Amino acid sequence: MNQPEPTDQDTAYHRLAEALLRLMVSVMRSGPREIGVTSSLTLVTLDLCGPQRITELVSIEGVSQPSMSGVVSGLERGGLVTRRRDANDRRVVLVEITPAGRSYLQGRRESGIVALTRLIALLPQRDGKALLATLPVLQQLSAHAERQDLGLS
């Protein structure tokens, strides 16, 4: 089947997306890496969505149940999450982020902010101002992506 030829706008969006992805990877690599990406994403999900069943985490993170059980066990050993019984259905076990887990996430966020701020500071002032002008659009895009990741849109 023939694909339509990309437009100049498609090509520009592709280049922008590639640059943003490379920037995200660079920032992620610059931060603390005591735990893996799936573990970090699981903590973010628990922080944003509250306590979850392992089956819900499997669906959100896109991993197998045995893999998620291992992730949760590792996070639990590290004191970043706890498991507890659901008050409404004692058969259900919920995974919940702990204060230490929230503290770990805050440290990762701060590390990323510092890394990005240092990179932005390297730009000529004119380019920094141009990037700052995109802030409302980036915030809107980020909020949309977060809702989509969590199945809310």
Query: Would you kindly state where each structural domain of the chain is located, as residue ranges?
Result: 33-122, 123-153
Q: What is the DSSP letter of 60?
A: H
Report how far residue 153's alpha carbon sits from residue 145's, in angstroms, rounded to the nearest whole number: 9
Look at residue 93 in the predicted model and tell me its pLDDT. 92
Per-residue pLDDT of the chain (153 residues; tens, 9 = 90+): 567 677 888 888 999 999 999 998 888 888 777 888 899 999 999 998 999 999 999 999 999 999 999 999 999 999 999 999 988 888 899 999 999 999 999 999 899 899 999 999 999 999 999 999 999 999 999 888 877 766 665
Q: What's the pLDDT tens digit per position in 55-85?
A: 999 999 999 999 999 999 999 999 999 999 9
Query: What are the angstrom distances between the C-alpha of 34 and each of 39, 74, 105, 145?
Result: 10, 11, 11, 26
Fold of 33-122: Arc Repressor Mutant, subunit A (1.10.10)
Report how far residue 37's alpha carbon sits from residue 28's, in angstroms, rounded to the nearest whole number: 9
What is the helix, strand, coil percentage profile of the chain, to 5?
A: 70, 5, 25
Residue type at position 35: I
Report how far residue 74's alpha carbon sits from residue 76's, in angstroms, rounded to the nearest whole number: 5
Look at residue 24 in the predicted model and tell me its pLDDT. 87
